Chains A and B, each alone.
Chain A
Amino acid sequence: MENKDALINYCLRVGDSSLVLGQRLAEWCSNGPILEEDIALTNISLDLFGQSRMLYSYIAELKGNGETEDSVAFGRNERAFYNTLLSERPNGHFGDTIVRGLLVDAFNFHFYTKLKESKDSTLAAFAEKSLKEVTYHLRHSSEWIIRLGDGTEESKNKVQKSLNELWGYSDDLFEMNDDDLNLVSEGVAIDLSSIKPLWQETINTVLSRAKLTLPENVFMHKGSRNAVHSEYLGHLLCEMQYLQKAYPDAKW
C-alpha cells in the first residue's frame, strides 16, 4: 500500500509537470510571434497534455476508487500539485519561453531515455512513447536558442537575460524525496542525479553554439517536489480548472 502511494505520487510529479507546462504553452495559442511558432508551441502543448493524460489514467487505475483522469487533473489544488517550478513560470517573451523549453526538454529527453528501462511496464511504455515526442521538442528549443543567442545584439541580450533568470529554477528539476529513492532502489523510478551530468552536457553544447554563457552564483529555488510552489501556479490552476469548479462533473 505504501508503495502504491509512492508510485502514484511519482506519476503526479511527472504528469503534473507535463500538464502545467502544456497549459502554459497553450497560452501562446493565437499569440505566437509568427504563425509557424504559434502552431509549434501549441503542438508541443498538445503532446504534453497527451503525456499527462496517460499518467493520470494510470493513477486513476492504481487508485481504483472511481477517480478518472479528469478528476485527477481538475480536482486538486496547488498544494496537491507536484509539477516542477520551471513548468509554472510565466511565458514572458518568446525568448523566455524558449529558454524554459530548452531546460525542460533536455531534462525530459534524458529522463525518458532512462525511464524506458523502468521495471514498471506502464511507466516504461509511457517513456518510450514520450521520448519520441520530446526529441522533437528539444530540437525545436535548441535550434531557436541558437538563432536567438547568435542572432542580433538585441535577441542575444534578451535571451541571455532569460537564461540568467530561469537558471535559478533548474536545480528544482532534479529534486527527489525519500519515496522516490525507494522507487529508485526497486528499479521503478530514475535516480535524477545520474542524468544531471548528461543534461548539463546537452545544455553546454547548445549554449556554446548559441554563444551564451551560464550565470554564476545563482540562488537556486526549490520545493516543488514537496508541492511548495510559486504564486504563479494558483493563478494558472484557477483558469485551467474554472469550468470543472463552476460546473462540477460537467459533461460535453
Chain B
Amino acid sequence: MKMTELKAGDKAEIISFKARGEIGARLISMGLVKGTRFKLIRKAPLGDPIEIMLRGFFLSLRLSEAENILVEKIGHSHSS
C-alpha cells in the first residue's frame, strides 16, 4: 500500500520508493529507505501534510511526496 493510505497510529515498513530528484534525495537523507520502520503520528489539521516518526525523530511530508513510498503495514498502536 501507499504511505498515504495509512492512518494515524499505524506502524509500517518501507518496501520501496519511486521518488527521484530533489524529493527523492531529501527522503533518502532523512532515512526513508527500504526496510525503515516508522509510525504515522498524525495528519495536519487540514489533512495534509502528515507527520511520521522514524529512528527516534519526527518528520513531516506532504501527501504528494508520500505518494511515492510503498509500505507494508506492520501494526497499530493507539494514536499518539
A, B assembled together: no
- Residues of chain B touching chain A, judged by Cβ–Cβ distance below 8 Å, are none
- Residues of chain A touching chain B, judged by Cβ–Cβ distance below 8 Å, are none
